[in-house]
């Protein structure tokens, strides 16, 4: 085979390979987009939370939504204002470091001593002293089978000084800030504390992914 023909065939093969690779990328992006679009939005979760709060006699002014499916370097704890149908405030939020959790993928567990976060809905309970952050924490009472050991595990809502006040994406929050508690920045904890001290009945906190 002469050199010109070899080069022509090689160019055709390279174009074919490049086209195939591009098609695979487009397909993956399309599938990922379709998956994201099929997931409940924050607003969807808030709507569901409001129905739950009404049914359970919880606060219908505000709730706290924690989406651990969001990158840990982005805000993923949201105080939702039901009346205004929007976010009141938001924060980075650390997840538990237990078992095989990583900075990007939390492992969930309801077992005492697991140091893992637990998915599910919680009733926010009594205000108490914390040795972390702004020295305030709130008890959490698990309302689902996936988190009903929360109070016994001493899983509470609190802040921690090293949690940044602003997003750090593309970096992740380091592991080690949480033994299963939802842990937020100090400034957001101050805002949450002001809100919770006035709130009646208790607020819902919902952790999901």
**Average per-residue pLDDT in the chain?**
88
pLDDT digits over 28-50, tens only?
Answer: 433 334 334 446 899 999 999 99
pLDDT digits over 64-121, tens only?
Answer: 999 999 999 999 999 999 999 999 999 999 999 999 999 999 999 999 999 999 999 9
Taking the C-alpha atoms of residue 156 and residue 202, their distance in angstroms, rounded to an integer, is 14
Question: Domain-by-domain residue ranges, the chain?
Answer: 1-38, 42-208
pLDDT digits over 121-157, tens only?
Answer: 999 999 999 999 999 999 999 999 999 999 999 999 9
Is pLDDT above 80 for 4? no
Pull the structure tokens for residue 27.
Answer: 């397909």
Which backbone phi and psi does 139 adopt, to 5 degrees? Answer: -60, 150
Tell me which residue of 73, 67, 69 sits closest to 35, measured CA to CA.
69
- What number is the average pLDDT over the span 47-59? 98
Pull the structure tokens for residue 189.
Answer: 């904890």
pLDDT digits over 172-181, tens only?
Answer: 999 999 999 9
| C-alpha to C-alpha distances, 96 to 116, 179, 200, nearest whole angstrom | 4, 5, 29
The fold of 42-208 is L,D-transpeptidase catalytic domain-like (2.40.440)
Tell me which residue of 158, 100, 76, 169 sits closest to 124, measured CA to CA.
158
Pull the structure tokens for residue 114.
Answer: 């697991």
pTM: 0.81
């Amino acid at each position: 085979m002469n050199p010109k023909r070899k080069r022509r065939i090689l160019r055709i093969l390279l174009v074919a390979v490049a086209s195939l690779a591009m098609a695979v990328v487009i397909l993956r992006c399309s599938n990922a987009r379709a998956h994201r679009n099929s997931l409940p939005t924050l607003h969807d979760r808030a709507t569901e939370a409001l129905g739950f709060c009404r049914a359970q006699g919880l606060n219908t002014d505000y709730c706290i939504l924690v989406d651990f499916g969001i990158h840990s370097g982005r805000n993923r704890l949201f105080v939702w204002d039901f009346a205004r149908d929007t976010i009141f405030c938001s924060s980075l939020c650390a997840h538990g470091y237990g078992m095989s959790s990583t900075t990007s993928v939390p492992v969930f567990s309801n077992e005492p001593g697991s140091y893992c976060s637990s998915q599910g809905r919680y009733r926010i309970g009594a205000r108490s002293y914390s040795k972390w952050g702004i020295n305030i924490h709130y008890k959490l009472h698990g309302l689902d089978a996936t988190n009903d050991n929360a109070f016994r595990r001493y899983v509470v809502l609190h802040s921690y000084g090293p949690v940044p006040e602003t997003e750090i994406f593309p970096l992740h929050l380091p592991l080690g800030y949480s033994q299963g508690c939802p842990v937020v920045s100090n400034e957001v904890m101050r805002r949450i504390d002001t809100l919770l001290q006035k709130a009646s009945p208790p607020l819902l906190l919902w952790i999901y992914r």
